[in-house]
Amino acid sequence: MTVTKANQYNNKMKEGARVLIADDNELMRMVMKGYFRKLIPSSKVFETTNLPDTFDLLNREKFDFLLLDINMPRGDSNPNTVRKVHAIQPEIKVCMFTGNDKTTLEKQYTEAGAIAFIQKDEEMGLAIEDALKIAFG
C-alpha cells in the first residue's frame, strides 16, 4: 500500500481513532496491530485476550473498530456476541477474525452486524485493508 492510500484512511477517520484487537494469540495481535498502525497511523490500538476482558473494556472505553476473534479462552464469540457489542456501542465497526472456515460462518456474523470477516489463513493484510475501506470508506 502506498503512503497516499494510508493517508486516505487516516484523513477519513477522526483523529486518534480507537481500535480494539480481541484475540488470544499474541502473534496475531502483533501482526494486526502493525497493519492498523501502517494503514491508520493516528490510531490508538488496544488489546484483549479473552471475551470477558473484551466486554469489560467495551463497557469502560469507546472504540471505533473492533477486530474480534471467534475462538478465545473464557468464551467463544458467536453472532449474538456481535449484537451484544452493538448494544454497548452502536457505532462500533466489528470485524470478525478467525481460523475457522469463512464460507460456513461469514453470513451469520454479517447478518448480526459484523462489517467484514477475515480468515487467518488468507491474505490478512489485504483483508484488513478491505475491512477498513468498508468501515471508514
- Cell digits for 42? 493516528
Quote the pLDDT of residue 10. 46
Mean pLDDT of the chain: 88
The number of C-alpha atoms within 13 Å of 27 and in the hemisphere containing its C-beta is 2
pTM, two decimals, is: 0.88
First to last CA, the chain: 16
Residue 2 pLDDT grade (very low, low, confident, very high; cuts 50, 70, 90): very low
What's the confidence (pLDDT) of residue 12? 54
Q: Which three cell numbers stand for residue 16?
A: 486518534
Measuring CA to CA, which residue among 75, 79, 61 is closest to residue 117? 79
Specify the range with the lowest mean pLDDT, choosing from 46-60, 76-90, 100-114. Answer: 100-114
Q: Dump pLDDT digits (tens) for 16-51.
A: 789 999 999 999 999 999 999 998 888 999 999 999
pLDDT at residue 14 tops 50: yes
